[in-house]
Structure 1
């Protein structure tokens, strides 16, 4: 039974070009962004079979049409787990046998439908709710002019929660457009005018509208923000049903100050407009971010408006729930053992459970090498390490924290602003006057890395 897809030979060059077009300088950069092995990306780009879930995820990241470029691999029934395993916050799993791809072939179901069904099932099959977060989000998104901000560190479930929200509003027949700002290229970020044209174009594309953004820009008066607003008011907002716009990885825009302040201020203005203008009551905005952009005036910032959702770690009950979803015979003792190393971090917990289930190993074996370069968290830890190495002041502050055996109090050598940045990255846990590593995994791994740096 074929469970994999591959890129059609006549589209190989197109998918290779898509890597650079989407701002990835190398195959390795794309692999790291998706949390996959480089070999998986190479297989995809060279037309070799990869797991169907992997295929869908790469297509989404590269803005490729899954239906157009894919063909079923009829010769390789199942691609190696180690070759196609995704190391990201999503927990992918094969569909039940009743949803096998052969059923869709017999019914001549379009491949696009298969991709959509699989993505939804795989996203939700291992989703663990964190009450009352979901219900509150469902309530907020129904409010006219809603601004919903989902704040959490990398790989802690922001995108999964957004997917649940999108599924919820689809049942309400709302219109929706989902944008990941990492899909924009350096050229798109070259100036505010180009970025806002890209922004309008992608939203229109998601809504399957054919109204030319370029033509609107040419005919309209005013600056680029006015043109962007008028495009929304003329073509995107009008309709019987509300429009939900979800912006993922908003942090991507923060380093580009000349665009970030104007764009974020514009979003805040749109939210405020819903209080006085009927057409903007149709607009609902979801913003996903890890940090708060502080360079914009507080009265123009979207980060102190609307409703903020701060995602928390899983508790013991939720970790046990996830273990049961994987079919593992876990009890409170095993959950406590796992959480002593990785806390309730959704990705770290999920990876351990997935490894135990897929590789038929034990929790003890997984934890024994968890903080080493050959452990299951190596890429996750390496990415945090690279981020730290790009900011010497932040690295020094974290070094002081992980080398200490007790919580470190704030001082001139460890000021509160540094601790907050480390907290936004998910590396530390804050208390009123002190800070400590967020998880034992981080303490062990980064202590070794700092101690082994050349003196």
Structure 2
């Protein structure tokens, strides 16, 4: 007699819910009235007030990776709030009690640990990055849709740099409060302050920052005369999520122009070039650069350009083996047709198949179920779309059409940055069957309910 396997639920952590996030934003705005400088508290201030690290704060802000409940309690308390059950969602995983659990907790929402057996190397890309980051004045640009492995790759580039004795730090632009994007001087002041703090240097911005000279000059001089001059070894700065700046063209042009200037300073051959050669930059973004940038000022036309590709059928087959599955190439292709070559969607599918012993056909039937394995992911995408009605209408066209659709260029790029579509010769198609099924069904319903 076959014994039915019972799967246990294990609570891993919590993520801020939509209602909790709204409470926080309201509390933050209220705090502005009590702030003597009339500004939102920076994450630096929140970190000092709560004792939470920058890495933890970014997890809270991204709302993608679970954190301890006590972390959220401390965060909410810092704004005078008591954490309520409705303020968070619990991350639940199903585990087979007969399966070994001593390898690592599987969480594919954030960057994979350096020792993760589930990280698939891009052999055509990583050796280039390892070589480039060791060159004086290097600049590496990484582009890929959401959850394609950009931050995981950055972690490995930084690890390679550390192994050779370089200083490294990672800064996500998501750490910057929205209020900073309205003023270049405040943004660059914050940028310098974070870099100074992360390098363990005393903050000398008040002494060095002179409003008479402007933000770009002040920031450049601070890096050259203080940060680089006081470093006895090269510094690798990885700036993640820079596409946030694309929404603020005036700020973006100056910020990206500044990175280009720094890159070129290492090649001038003048008295300060040796200092700028100490600086190596890694810049990562999700979308195409759809804002107008001067070709002679843009950092997106120099350095090493890396575009992360989707995983191939061979890589999916290898990944299936790491999950303990003995697959054929046909099964790998079937899974790619369902969820595309996105590493996150693939990892979740393979983990589900292994844990529950289901077939690909059963997975496909459950893929868009309200309580299915992709429900949180799909709902998060939908919530983002609902903030932009024109973008949602554009996606409705793509998902309900039997032929490729031509969209306005910026809309196509934004949808591509979410991983929802593919663009070929200006023709837009769904990136995988998962999105076609889900959005092809739900978007027309939303349209009817709003117009009816």
TM (normalized to structure 1)?
Answer: 0.73
Q: Report the Cα distance in structure 2 between the residues aligned to 1:380 and 1:5, rounded to whole angstroms.
A: 17
1:285 matched residue in structure 2: 281
Instruction: Please say if residues 150 and 158 of structure 1, whose CA atoms lie closer than 8 Å, have aligned partners that are also in contact.
Output: yes
Q: Are residues 42 and 96 of structure 1, via their aligned partners in 2, closer, same or farther at CA, if it must alter by over 3 Å?
A: closer
5+ unaligned residues in a row in structure 1: which ranges?
Answer: 8-15, 48-57, 63-81, 87-92, 100-118
Deviations 1:59-99 (A, max 9, x none): xxx9xxxxxxxxxxxxxxxxxxx84559xxxxxx97649x9
SS of 1:387's equivalent in the other structure is: helix
Match of 1:435 among 428, 432, 435: 428
Match of 1:233 among 224, 244, 269: 224
1:53 matched residue in structure 2: none
SS of 2:236's equivalent in the other structure is: strand
Q: Report the Cα distance in structure 2 between the residues aligned to 1:345 and 1:429, rounded to whole angstroms.
A: 12
Tell me whether 1:339 sits opposite 2:336 in the alignment.
yes
Q: Report the Cα distance in structure 2 between the residues aligned to 1:4 and 1:240, rounded to whole angstroms.
A: 46
Instruction: Please say if residues 368 and 434 of structure 2, whose CA atoms lie closer than 8 Å, have aligned partners that are also in contact.
Output: yes
SS of 1:241's equivalent in the other structure is: coil
Instruction: Please say if residues 171 and 238 of structure 2, whose CA atoms lie closer than 8 Å, have aligned partners that are also in contact.
Output: yes
1:314 matched residue in structure 2: 311
Tell me whether 1:385 sits opposite 2:353 in the alignment.
no
Give the deviation of 1:434 after TM superposition.
2.5
1:114 matched residue in structure 2: none
Q: Output aligned runs, 1:67-216, within 5 Å.
A: 83=91, 85=93, 96=103, 121=113, 124-216=116-208
Q: Report the Cα distance in structure 1 between the residues aligned to 2:436 and 2:156, rounded to whole angstroms.
A: 33
Give the deviation of 1:41 after TM superposition.
5.8
Q: Are residues 6 and 268 of structure 1, via their aligned partners in 2, closer, same or farther at CA, if it must alter by over 3 Å?
A: same
Q: Are residues 436 and 32 of structure 1, via their aligned partners in 2, closer, same or farther at CA, if it must alter by over 3 Å?
A: farther
Q: Are residues 32 and 274 of structure 1, via their aligned partners in 2, closer, same or farther at CA, if it must alter by over 3 Å?
A: closer
Give the deviation of 1:22 after TM superposition.
6.4
Greater displacement, 272-281 / 153-162: 272-281
Deviations 1:197-246 (A, max 9, x none): 1111111111111242233226x862222111111112222334211110
2:85 matched residue in structure 1: none
Paired residues in the alignment total: 376
1:71 matched residue in structure 2: none
SS of 1:125's equivalent in the other structure is: coil
Greater displacement, 159-168 / 143-152: 143-152
Q: Report the Cα distance in structure 1 between the residues aligned to 2:432 and 2:241, rounded to whole angstroms.
A: 24
Instruction: Please say if residues 341 and 367 of structure 1, whose CA atoms lie closer than 8 Å, have aligned partners that are also in contact.
Output: yes
Measured on the aligned residues, the alpha-carbon RMSD in Å equals 3.5
Give the deviation of 1:327 after TM superposition.
2.2
Q: Report the Cα distance in structure 2 between the residues aligned to 1:241 and 1:5, rounded to whole angstroms.
A: 40
Instruction: Please say if residues 286 and 417 of structure 2, whose CA atoms lie closer than 8 Å, have aligned partners that are also in contact.
Output: yes
Deviations 1:315-368 (A, max 9, x none): 011112222222233332332221120121111001112223445555443322
Q: Are residues 95 and 142 of structure 1, via their aligned partners in 2, closer, same or farther at CA, if it must alter by over 3 Å?
A: farther
Match of 2:320 among 302, 320, 323: 323
Q: Report the Cα distance in structure 2 between the residues aligned to 1:168 and 1:146, rounded to whole angstroms.
A: 14
Give the deviation of 1:405 after TM superposition.
1.6
1:446 matched residue in structure 2: 439
Q: Are residues 32 and 188 of structure 1, via their aligned partners in 2, closer, same or farther at CA, if it must alter by over 3 Å?
A: closer
Match of 2:419 among 411, 422, 426: 426
SS of 2:282's equivalent in the other structure is: strand
Q: Are residues 139 and 364 of structure 1, via their aligned partners in 2, closer, same or farther at CA, if it must alter by over 3 Å?
A: same
Give the deviation of 1:170 after TM superposition.
0.6
